[in-house]
Amino acid sequence: MEYEYAFEMAASNIRFGLGASQEVGMDLAELDVKLVMVLTDPELRKTPVVDRVLKALEEQNIAHEVFDRVRVEPTDASMMEAVDFARSQPFDGFVAVGGGSTIDTAKVANLYSTYPPDDFLDYVNPPIGKGLPVPGALKPLFALPTTAGTGSETTGVAIFDLERMRAKTGIAHRRLKPTLGIIDPENTATLPPMVAAATGLDVLTHAVESYTAIPFNKRPRHEHPIIRPAYQGSNPISDIWALEAMRMVAKFLIREVENPDDVEARSMMALAASFAGVGFGNAGVTLPHGMSYPVSGMVRDFRAEGYPRNHAMVPHGIAVVLNAPAAFRFTAPGCPDRHLRAAQALGADISGLKEEDAGEILADTVIGFMKRLGIPNGLNGVGYTVDDIPKLVEGTLPQHRVIKIAPRKVGPEELNEIFADAMRYW
């Protein structure tokens, strides 16, 4: 087998600062954009956050139409509703105001309206879809995150639920990256505590997973560099972003959740989300994310505080972190030194510990955050039992893009054991 010999670092441009949202109209005017599709969700549409963005467009005489039907935890159907709206008018730019769901929906609307596929699954990651590359440049997309978690403003990845499979999948290509991510901490000021906790734990897992992914030069080489995947494995540049994101989470996440008026904590967590996004957007995520997709897709009746109550949903950050302690216990033997350093970056004292302790100390550190932030106690806490494990395993196995860059090989038997471990932690 020939292994990869190079990695590529790509990230969106980022602008950070209190009040930076007011500059988006200027940015679009400089690009001579005439008609913008503004995407947001129904709840955010009622807030001053969206009003500030629309005012910035109006001040620069940028014509715009608002699509406010983004679904939190989008599905293929909700994505196509946005795509149809994008095709209905000659939009030459996109502005996404919201969390990862909104930004991902904007990426798909941009792609599918600019280069319509023959079949919806053409761009979707294999083995579920064909994984066709984005054919060319996309229209300008400006992303203004209102949560501090997904890092979607920095990545070329869009995730959604494929309803007929009851599992998450997605599209990944560098050309999907937003033109600019505008990180304005004012936009996260009204985050409910559980949303802040869930999205913050998504930052944590993004950073740890990318740091502990298989090294880029241990991944099988593709036949041509042009199809080198977005998720390339851990690499020296992503490592820097991931480790710093972990340190920021350790210092600021609990402060942000427990004191919403702490502007410094809120600002630093918004920045940490982008730091982690730059890291995992090039290195990738691994088992906790791969396992989270069926956890989200198979939800029965769980509803989290602070999230829309009109449909059952395990929010993404919760779905991921519920699997993380069990997954890190499993992956630790693949690179114990990195698991130890991750635990240290998250605030654990690793003095005197041996490499064989790596999985347990990292798992315990994550569980500590879960307890403090009121996260459900394992998969049991969101309605799953051991009887669901076969279906959860079945939903995880197609997630090749992520489970194949885990530092230990994983198959049905291993996943069965990890899901069983994730059922309850304390």
Model confidence pLDDT, tens digit, residues 121-135:
999 988 889 999 999
pLDDT band per the 50, 70, 90 thresholds, residue 222: confident
pLDDT band per the 50, 70, 90 thresholds, residue 255: very high
Can you read off the two tokens belonging to residue 288? 């906790």
Return the pLDDT at 230: 83
Q: How many Cβ atoms are within 10 Å of 350's Cβ, its own excluded?
A: 18
Lowest-confidence region among 71-85, 153-167, 271-285: 153-167
Residue 317 has pLDDT above 80, yes or no: yes
Mean pLDDT value across residues 104-118: 97
Return the pLDDT at 98: 94
Q: How distant, in Å, are the alpha carbons of 248, 249, 348, 402 from that of 345?
A: 9, 9, 7, 23
Question: CA angle, 77 as apex, 193 and 125 as ends, to 5°?
Answer: 85
Cα–Cα distance, 109 to 113 (Å, whole number): 6
C-beta of residue 92 within 8 angstroms of C-beta of residue 134:
no
Residue 197: left (phi > 0), alpha (psi -120 to 50), or beta?
Answer: alpha
Domains and CATH numbers, the chain: 13-188 (3.40.50.1970), 193-421 (1.20.1090.10)
C-beta of residue 142 within 8 angstroms of C-beta of residue 127:
no
User: Which residues have CB under 8 Å from 121's CB, separation 6+?
Assistant: 128, 129, 130
Mean pLDDT value across residues 343-350: 98
Lowest-confidence region among 8-12, 121-125, 234-238: 8-12
Return the pLDDT at 309: 78
Mean pLDDT value across residues 181-205: 93
Cα–Cα distance, 84 to 49 (Å, whole number): 25
Residue 164 has pLDDT above 90, yes or no: no
